[in-house]
Amino acid sequence: MINVLFFAQVRELLGTASVQVDSAELTTAAELRALLASQNDKWAQVLDSDKLLVAINQTMSQWHATIKDGDEVAFFPPVTGG
């Protein structure tokens, strides 16, 4: 299983802080995002990769990064400050 965490606006819009996903068919963060986005239009809109950053095991990652069973993958919006 992969533990998927959602932060900030992503968590608020989806109405959940986390889900667990069977990792059998997944090899990249992009595949995980696509699987979650396929649930419905709301999830697809919120999980649009142009609006998200991804971290794997608490390390900033790219969408093509490999994921495996037991990983923690976090999705969150870009952060701005000022």
Tens-digit pLDDT string for the chain (82 aa):
999 999 999 999 999 999 999 988 899 999 999 999 999 999 999 998 788 999 999 999 999 999 999 999 999 998 756 5
Q: Which residue has the tokens 């959940």?
A: 16
How high is the pLDDT of residue 49?
Answer: 75
Q: What is the pLDDT of residue 81?
A: 61
pLDDT at 25: 85
Q: How far is CA 60 from CA 15, 53, 65, 73, 75, in A?
A: 23, 8, 10, 10, 10
What pTM value is reported for the model?
0.92
Going by their DSSP bridges, the two strands 2-6 and 72-76 should be labelled as parallel
- Cα 35 to the chain's mean position, in Å? 10
Task: Check residue 39 and give its pLDDT.
Answer: 94
